[in-house]
Amino acid sequence: MSQNKSYIDENGDALELDEAWFAKARRGRPPLPPEKRKKSVHMMLDPDILARLKSEGRGWQTRANALLRAALGL
């Protein structure tokens, strides 16, 4: 039976990472299951709607998703 090595000591401090840690390390978040992943869609929006969403800066797609979710009562 394999046991995972802890990289935190008894004082809560992080230990030096070794080759074994780097061999198993993966970049980014673990992937979501397919049923929870966002779907790509093509959608036509009126210019004023798009301008308003983009006027608040980055993240306009996330805000549009939140607005749609609220409008649908989800």
Q: Give yes or no for a contact between 61 and 45, defined as CB atoms under 8 angstroms apart.
A: no
Q: What are phi and psi of 8, to 5 degrees?
A: -120, 130
Q: Give yes or no for a contact between 47 and 39, defined as CB atoms under 8 angstroms apart.
A: no
For 12-70, the pLDDT digits (tens) are: 998 888 898 889 888 888 889 999 999 999 999 999 999 999 999 999 999 999 999 99
Stated pTM of the model: 0.57
What type of residue is 70?
A: A
**Spatial CB neighbours of 12, under 8 Å, sequence gap ≥ 6:** none
